């Protein structure tokens, strides 16, 4: 990671919400550093983040991208999205596990066919759990003002995001290794079967020759 990318990433709120059009804050920072996107695409960060990015990139200020700032969302005076946290209505939860699969910071715990719950202190308020929920049992509520300051939460969400990506990578490697082992066992079994079939064919051939 270049120094500029790290600097830009540090200025982003780390909600990992993808509202900017990128798969998290770091990819957005990388695109900013490469000059392939604009600095006004972070609704959770509001005007303060736009100003900080403009200063870091030595670029002029831009107004918030109207296409990305939801008109129905609650905004602060700084045009930032009001911090929220997800809450699951356990009476309506069917344990489909879909919210767990999309949470970018692993703030939702539960197993398939069991009730799920949100670790409020870890939830970044990204809203990504809302669309896949088939029973609409998740609500976003304002984050308590007494909770951890935003800068400390940003670092925690960054850490949680990295941990999730590392976990998913390990799980993919484990699945790939399991598939390789299964394929190896299958090929071995097939090879043994071919050997047996060939041996039987040779024996029959020899028996046929001997009886002639």
Q: What is the pLDDT of residues 87-98, one digit of tens each?
A: 999 899 999 999
pLDDT in tens, 47-74: 999 999 999 999 999 999 999 998 877 8
Query: d(Cα 45, Cα 78) in Å, to the nearest integer?
Result: 9
The number of beta carbons lying within 10 Å of the beta carbon of residue 67 is 8
- Name the band, by pLDDT with cuts 50, 70 and 90, for residue 180: confident
Flag whether pLDDT at 6 surpasses 90: yes
Question: 5 φ, ψ to 5°?
Answer: -60, -45
The pTM of this model reads 0.79
pLDDT (0 to 100) of residue 10: 95
- Name the band, by pLDDT with cuts 50, 70 and 90, for residue 183: confident
Apex CA 55: angle with CA 49 and CA 60, to 5°?
Answer: 95
Query: d(Cα 86, Cα 170) in Å, to the nearest integer?
Result: 27
Q: Spell 75-89 as b/e; 16+ CB within 10 A means b.
A: eeeebbbebbbbebe
pLDDT in tens, 127-176: 999 999 999 999 999 988 655 566 788 999 999 999 999 999 998 888 87
Average pLDDT over the chain, rounded to an integer: 88
pLDDT (0 to 100) of residue 86: 97
pLDDT (0 to 100) of residue 147: 56
């Amino acid at each position: 990671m270049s120094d500029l990318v790290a600097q830009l990433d540090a200025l982003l709120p780390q909600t990992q919400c993808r509202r900017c059009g990128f798969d998290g804050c770091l990819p957005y920072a990388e695109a900013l550093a490469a000059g392939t996107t604009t600095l006004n695409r972070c609704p959770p960060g509001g005007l303060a983040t736009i100003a900080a990015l403009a200063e870091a990139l030595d670029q002029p200020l831009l107004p918030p991208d109207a296409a990305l700032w939801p008109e129905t969302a609650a905004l602060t005076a700084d045009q930032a999205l009001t911090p929220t946290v997800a809450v699951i209505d356990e009476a309506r939860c069917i344990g489909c596990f879909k919210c767990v699969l999309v949470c970018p910071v692993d703030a939702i715990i539960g197993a398939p066919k069991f009730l799920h719950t949100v670790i409020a202190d870890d939830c970044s308020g990204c809203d990504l759990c809302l669309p896949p929920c088939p029973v609409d049992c998740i609500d976003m509520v304002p984050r308590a003002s007494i909770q951890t300051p935003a800068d400390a939460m940003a670092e925690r969400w960054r850490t949680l995001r990295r941990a999730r990506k590392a976990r998913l990578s390990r799980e993919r490697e484990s699945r790939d290794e399991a598939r390789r082992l299964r394929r190896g066992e299958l090929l071995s079994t097939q090879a043994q079967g071919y050997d047996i079939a060939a041996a039987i064919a040779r024996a029959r051939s020899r028996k046929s020759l001997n009886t002639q």
